[in-house]
Amino acid sequence: MTAECTWERPRIMSDNKRGKITLTDVARRAKVGTATVDRVINDRGNVSEDIRKRVLQAARELGIRRLLPSSHRRLIRIDVILARPELPLIARMGFEFRRLSNSIDGSIVIHHTILDDEQAETIARALIRTTCDAVVSSMPDHPLIHDAVRALNARGIPVVTVITDVPGAARIGYAGTDHYKAGRSAGYFLTRMGREPGKIIILCNHLGFQAHADRLRGIRHFLEDSPSSWVIAEIVEGMDNRDQSELGLRRAFRSCPEATAVYNVGAANIAVANAIRAGILAHRPVFVGHELTQETAKLLREGLMSITIDQSPELQVRKAVNLILRHYSFGGEPAAIQVENEVPVVLYGPENIPEPLPF
């Protein structure tokens, strides 16, 4: 719903004591015509987003906030593009976007584009095809993605990344966590919870995802900085596929049966649990993974998983939407959306799992 504000012609009452301000004053400050000012204030359309923002900013600077609609709204359609909904984290992100859409202003409409695969070509096509005003997506760091984000930027469509970033792309912001810190944290807990210094098996999707690459960089740097003799024995790229990940881990366990720790960088936590239950390793390892889901909660309660590092999907969703609203100078955002600081990681063990899980 769009609020209208009726302007006097040719004079506008100001909420300061400098006297009255005219349409011409606003137009001169914004460097546009008076007709453009009238269209912007009364939300009549046919004005680019940059011009709209410039006019509203000029009006505020001239001290006429009182006459500007406190709930000035334009319809903002946000396309949430997510791939592989069978993955627990993606399902949880979708849940959080749906939950937020039920509580925010009706001028913000959240669309969902669900993709069957996370290939760069697939996501790039979905980005380019969007007809929405903004995009939120998780995507690999790939030249096709950079090209697609650049094309959207040229069309005036802002892009915000969640879960994993695409550094250097023309997106307006990243609403995820610091995965390098998460990787270092994983190294800390693995080495503190392990029986003795030993070998670590790592499972990831693939290194084209910035999140996974940064987590691996984080644990590597932590181990390099640590005086202990913990080492990474093997990295298995399982593409977040349960069967492929389990087979890869079983091979790694057979080649390194003395491994004492497993770090799952990605989503295939059930594959890790199945491989551990196979009894290939000499002793049950410390197992650190990511995300609080129905699956990981169960593994934590069973004692098979030692700790999970959660990336706060609900806060990522709120921050992503907030970045878009700020881009469009969407005044008076609902307080529930505002997330000012870095999205934190949250550590869950068997003793602090929320009951019941909120998703």
DSSP code string of 172-193 = SEE-S--HHHHHHHHHHHHHHH
Torsion of CA 177, 183, 188, 191, to 10 degrees: 150
Residues 6+ apart with CB under 8 A from 190: 200, 219, 230, 261, 263, 286, 288
Domain limits, CATH 1.10.260.40, in the chain: 11-67
Domain limits, CATH 3.40.50.2300, in the chain: 76-176+313-343, 179-310
Does residue 336 carry a pLDDT above 60? no
Does residue 331 carry a pLDDT above 60? no
| Residue 256: φ, ψ to 5° | -140, 65
Q: How confident is the model at residue 10 (pLDDT cuts 50, 70, 90)?
A: very low
CATH label, 11-67, candidates 1.10.260.40, 3.30.230.10, 3.40.50.300, 3.40.710.10 = 1.10.260.40
Per-residue pLDDT reduced to its tens digit, 201-211: 999 998 888 99
Look at residue 154 in the predicted model and tell me its pLDDT.
96
**What is the fold, at CATH topology level, of the domain defined by 179-310?**
Rossmann fold (3.40.50)
Q: How confident is the model at residue 8 (pLDDT cuts 50, 70, 90)?
A: very low
Look at residue 354 in the predicted model and tell me its pLDDT.
94
Beta bridge pairs of residue 112: 80
Distance separating alpha carbons of residues 173 and 287, to the nearest angstrom: 32
Look at residue 6 in the predicted model and tell me its pLDDT.
37
Question: For residue 162, what are its two tokens?
Answer: 């969640």
Q: Residue 50's Cα: distance from chain center in Å?
A: 25
Rg (CA), the chain: 25
Q: What is the pTM of this model?
A: 0.79
Across all residues in the chain, what is the average pLDDT? 88
Distance separating alpha carbons of residues 322 and 302, to the nearest angstrom: 38
Token pair 């001169």 in the structure block, residue: 28
Token pair 């469509």 in the structure block, residue: 157
DSSP-based three-state secondary structure for 55: helix
Per-residue pLDDT reduced to its tens digit, 273-317: 999 999 999 999 999 999 999 999 999 999 999 999 999 999 999
**What is the fold, at CATH topology level, of the domain defined by 76-176+313-343?**
Rossmann fold (3.40.50)
